[in-house]
């Protein structure tokens, strides 16, 4: 019986009904360490015996993939594939599939949650009351404020519509702007430079590049007191530059759902009292997990069935 490895933490710990489609098709479903990201050593031990791989956000190196001559398909239960060595996958003739659009609403809702939690200092207030304190930070209302969205794909579009529902103005940048998306007179496409210069809040929804998008020079071009939200990738920001900007007051707050290593090591960024952190839960909703898992399973069977 051919094997299919399943590694997303939301699945390896509790399974999912959609995985029964793989078993019904005659495959054995095997799991990595429950609830944890597998490392190279664990993948090297399991993956070479598998014909398919339902992958999470763990790094998948070329060294591992080149040992996997049986592997035909890597199917992500999300849209990010920057963690996969795509050159090695192509070299080995492996198909790399994405679960497009399946977690978009969940991630967008979390982005809005983090935005509002930041500007109203919700975690800070909660911590102080629980420690028998009573310290208040003044927030502001979002009506008429400008949200800058970097990356206006499906997640960015959902985020834009939610922000518009809060009576915000929205400026969005996308490498390939969708001219058919025009949800309101308060929405416009703009350059990244204009967004950095004008936005009161910036939300990141784009893949990382070779160097951080948000570095000291970019932060210097922003308005004073900007809030930054990152539900995309940790590599989009220069951590030291963000910490320095939080200390100086140039950034009023930073909220992130993503880390270069998960779980992350302790750091000045994570410990900062103007930083909100969540453990990569953007797509971790009942609805998003259901959609993403079913799509990832369907993509595996599509490839294996030719």
* Residues with a known catalytic role: 233, 262, 280
Specify the 3-state DSSP secondary structure of 95.
strand
| C-alpha to C-alpha distance for 160 and 166, rounded to whole angstroms | 10
Q: Which residue has the tokens 């040992």?
A: 67
| Per-residue tokens: 234 | 């940790």
| Per-residue tokens: 289 | 């997990």
| C-alpha to C-alpha distance for 275 and 268, rounded to whole angstroms | 10
Specify the 3-state DSSP secondary structure of 5.
strand
What's the full length of the chain, in residues?
Answer: 306
Cross-strand partners of 270: none
- The answer to whether residues 222 and 197 touch, using CB atoms and an 8 Å cutoff, is yes
Cross-strand partners of 172: 149, 189
Phi/psi at 36 (nearest 5 deg)?
-130, 150
C-alpha to C-alpha distances, 1 to 22, 197, 256, nearest whole angstrom: 12, 58, 42
């Amino acid at each position: 019986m051919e094997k299919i490895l399943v590694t997303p933490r939301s699945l390896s710990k509790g399974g999912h009904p959609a995985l029964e489609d793989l078993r019904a098709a005659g495959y054995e479903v095997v799991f990595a360490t429950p609830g944890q990201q597998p490392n190279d050593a664990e993948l090297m031990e399991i993956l070479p015996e598998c014909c398919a791989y339902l992958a999470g956000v763990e790094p998948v190196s070329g060294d591992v993939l080149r040992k996997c001559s049986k592997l035909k398909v890597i199917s992500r239960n999300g849209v990010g594939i920057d963690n996969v060595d795509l050159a090695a996958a192509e070299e080995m003739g492996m198909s790399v599939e994405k679960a497009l659009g399946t977690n978009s609403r969940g991630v967008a809702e979390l982005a809005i949650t983090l935005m509002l939690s930041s500007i109203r200092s919700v975690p800070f207030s909660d911590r102080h009351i629980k420690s028998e304190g009573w310290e208040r930070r003044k927030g502001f209302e979002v009506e008429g404020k400008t949200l800058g969205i970097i990356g206006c794909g499906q997640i960015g579009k959902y985020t834009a519509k939610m922000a518009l529902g809060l009576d915000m103005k929205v400026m969005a940048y996308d490498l390939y702007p969708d001219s058919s998306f025009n949800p309101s007179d308060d929405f416009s496409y703009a350059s990244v430079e204009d967004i950095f210069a004008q936005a009161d809040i910036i939300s990141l929804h784009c893949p990382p590049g070779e160097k951080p998008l948000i570095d000291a020079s970019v932060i210097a071009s922003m308005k004073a007191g900007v809030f930054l939200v990152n539900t995309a990738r940790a590599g989009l920001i220069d951590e030291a530059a963000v910490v320095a900007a939080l200390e100086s007051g140039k950034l009023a707050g930073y909220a992130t759902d993503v880390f270069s290593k998960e779980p992350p090591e302790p750091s000045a960024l994570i410990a900062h009292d103007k930083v909100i952190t969540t453990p990569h839960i953007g797509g971790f909703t009942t609805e998003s997990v259901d959609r993403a898992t079913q799509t990832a399973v369907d993509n595996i069977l599509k490839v294996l069935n030719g």
